[in-house]
Structure 1
Amino acid sequence: MTSTDSRTTKPLKFAAVGLDHGHILGLVHGLIGAGAECVGLWSETDTPHTAALAERAPRIPRVAEADELLTDPDISLIVTAAVPARRAGIAVAAMRNGKDVVADKPGAITLDQLAEVRTAVAETGRFWSVAFSERTASRATVRARRLIEEGAIGQVVQTMGTGPHHLRPHTRPSWTFDPGLAGGILADIASHQVDQFLYLTGSTSAEVVSSTVGNFAHPEYPEFEDFGEVVLRSPHAHGYARVDWYTPDGLGVWGDGRLTVLGTEGYIEVRKNIDLLGRPGGDHLFLVNGKGTQYLESDDVELPYFPAILDDVVRRGDTAIPQELVFTATELALTAQANATRVGCLG
């Protein structure tokens, strides 16, 4: 079913403002796959992602000025994967021009930026969503939530998430190594794990118990953080996350992301990208409880995020990721970043 704008029978129109991170490809194609129409692209710089979008969707025009898209009354939604430091400003401008926003994570890199976004949401009535792709693009993670809701592991007590990444410095833009532009490893990568903690434990609030950032392997980039960890606690659950830039080239994928959900009657483990025993692809889910140990396929699980975004634009809903949950996940990641103990080359 094609999602349509309430003002027309044509597909809902959206535009991409800021193409600096490769996640823009998933955002654009996710929305197109859900039935929307991309009507414009703008980027501050030429990037490989600009060329990739042009190749995959050659009919989408690229405009010279971002304001052409931000002020176009026919565009209902703006997506952005700009340099992280620019994303909040783009989002605020879009909302003040009557548009909803989907941002790549991190949607903001400082608490002050987050406060500006909160104000814009409150004053305009538009929504600001952050596409935490380790949840929104992970069929196994969606399935894990369903198993939890069915009582498969009892009461959830803790989540443990890891987010290892390839660095390959020669392939990365210079802003990657500047926390003033990229936001730092907890603000950026660990926001995935914070979002999953809230999503899988059913927590609507939490506190940062402790956080650490470090640089152990890249002294040539003295401000860059290649390691981070954070401990979270909500009124009824606990969470631990570790993120890093140490994935070895021999693994074959960009990172062996793992998620373990501990319950009072069992546990779930999700291997996001690779099964070390050799099963192909990603989205590997293991369920252990009183009935035994199972390996569960997730290929048939539908990803609800992008269809829900389009429905929220049209119906003014709050279903893709509730707005307050987006705020909470972002605030926790930014608080962890701001208050982190610095170790290694950063010490």
Structure 2
Amino acid sequence: MNDAVPIRFAAIGLDHAHIFGQTRGLLAAGAELVGVATRDERSGIAQTFHENAPDVPTRSEAELLADPDIDVIVTAAIPKDRAEIALAALRVGKDVMTDKPGCTTMAQLEELRATVAETGRIWSVTYSERFEVPAVARAGEIARSGRIGQVVQTLGLGPHREGDRAHLGASGGRPDWFYDEANFGGILVDIASHQFDQFLWFTNSTTAEVASSTVANYAHPDDPAFQDFGDVVLRNDHATGYVRVDWFTPEGLPTWGDGRLFILGTQGYIELRKYVDIAGREGTNHLFVADADGVHHESCDDLPVTYYRQFLDDVRDRTETACPQEHTFEVMRLALQAQADAVRQGHLA
């Protein structure tokens, strides 16, 4: 593909607010948005998307998939539908960028793996808590430099706010599918896929096993198919990881979640406060390092992120610079396994 010709993409599925970051990232990297389709035009996210991009034509899914001039399909559909959309796109020769989770069942994952192998197309899951957070990219540079020694453990915290306005679009609340495990895949598949990605990446691992996992409904007795808490212990032959995710962010916190990541090395450690330094410094993307030379703070707000540009390079060059395909598969395998094996607590049905 000629680098001078912009990559054309279409969005199918406007059900989650991550579609805004995905399309914004692709546009900023030089791609061209040529059409959208969604199965629920009444959703708050779809309405907000159309308001923000009134010149982008709405077309049918079939029309977008059949258009030979469209190179990439991006989707943030209801999680259970993302694999179906991706498979259809892969089979007509298009590369796919999907919101996390990329799928919600092990059967979907196996079909995606087989279809990628058969078609040679790219199935990329946007793990935005790494790909869109400059502090995480900077932490990776530090970890890979050897400054904190060998990374032997990660501790990832992914709290979220149920009523966060930025995630609701034009609607007044979360849609019904948000409260049904069959639709969102379970809290460890949905939110914790970010933390599985970061564990593998920071520990330089290709695989791991789920040592233990828990899901719970502690505060939503009227929604017994919803999970508001989950945790996981991961391990392999050279590292361990702990993951905690929840929907308990208080209204008083000035962001949707106090996402934190701790990276333990044999000669130092890193702490990331991705979205807020609680009762501390202003802004986001705070990175702290303790190493042989002392304690250091870096503000990473102005550092670049590379995922979207690298993804477009991969589409052009048939490479894997944005994220290795096997890594993407393994992240989703771990998430699905953790969810399937989890001890269930609280008000869960």
* TM-score, scaled relative to structure 1: 0.96
State the match for 2:180 in structure 1: 178
Deviation at 1:66, TM superposition (A): 0.4
In 1, are the aligned partners of 2:3 and 2:316 still within 8 Å (CA)?
A: no
- 1:19/1:319 Cα in 2 relative to 1: closer, same or farther (>3 Å)? same
Mapping 1:116-135, distance limit 5 Å:
116-135=111-130
Shift of 1:49: 2.3
- 331, 334, 337: which one aligns with 2:336: 334
| CA deviation after TM superposition for structure 1 residue 278, in Å | 3.2
Q: Deviations over 1:24-68 (max 9, x none)?
A: 0000010000000000000100222223322333221111x2011
Query: Aligned partners of 2:81 and 2:151: how far apart in 1?
Result: 37
Structure 2 counterpart of 1:57, from 53, 60, 69? 53
Residue type at the aligned position of 2:12: V
Q: Following the alignment from structure 2 to structure 1, what is the Cα–Cα distance between the partners of residues 107 and 91?
A: 18
What is the distance in 2 between the residues matched to 1:62 and 1:279?
43
Distance 1:108 1:114 in 2: 6
- Deviation at residue 8 of structure 1 after TM alignment: 7.7
The runs of 5 or more residues in structure 2 that have no matched partner are 165-171
2: CA distance between counterparts of 1:164 and 1:218?
Answer: 16
Q: Report what 1:103 is aligned to.
A: 98
- Aligned partner of residue 249 in structure 1, secondary structure: coil
Map 1:210-229 → 2, pairs under 5 A: 210-229=212-231
What residue identity is the alignment partner of 1:269? E
Q: Which amino acid aligns with 1:87?
A: R
Deviation of residue 299 (structure 1)? 2.8
Structure 2 Cα separation of the partners of residues 211 and 157 of structure 1 = 20
The whole-number CA distance in structure 1 between the counterparts of 2:66 and 2:147 is 48
Q: Distance in 1 between matches of 2:177 and 2:263?
A: 34
State the TM-score, normalized to the length of structure 2: 0.95
Deviation at 1:292, TM superposition (A): 0.7
Letter in 1 for 2:287: L
Distance in 1 (alpha carbons) for counterparts of 2:254 and 2:135: 20
Q: Are 1:231 and 2:233 counterparts?
A: yes
Q: How does 1:1-347 map to 2 (within 5 A)?
A: 6=1, 9-46=4-41, 47-63=43-59, 65-168=60-163, 171-346=173-348
Q: Distance in 1 between matches of 2:5 and 2:344?
A: 52
Count matched residues. Answer: 341
1:97-140 CA-to-partner distances (Å, cap 9, x unmatched) read 10000000000001001011111101111010000000001100
After superposition, the C-alpha distances for 1:2-39 in whole angstroms (9 at most, x for unaligned) are: xxxx1584311000000100000000010000000000
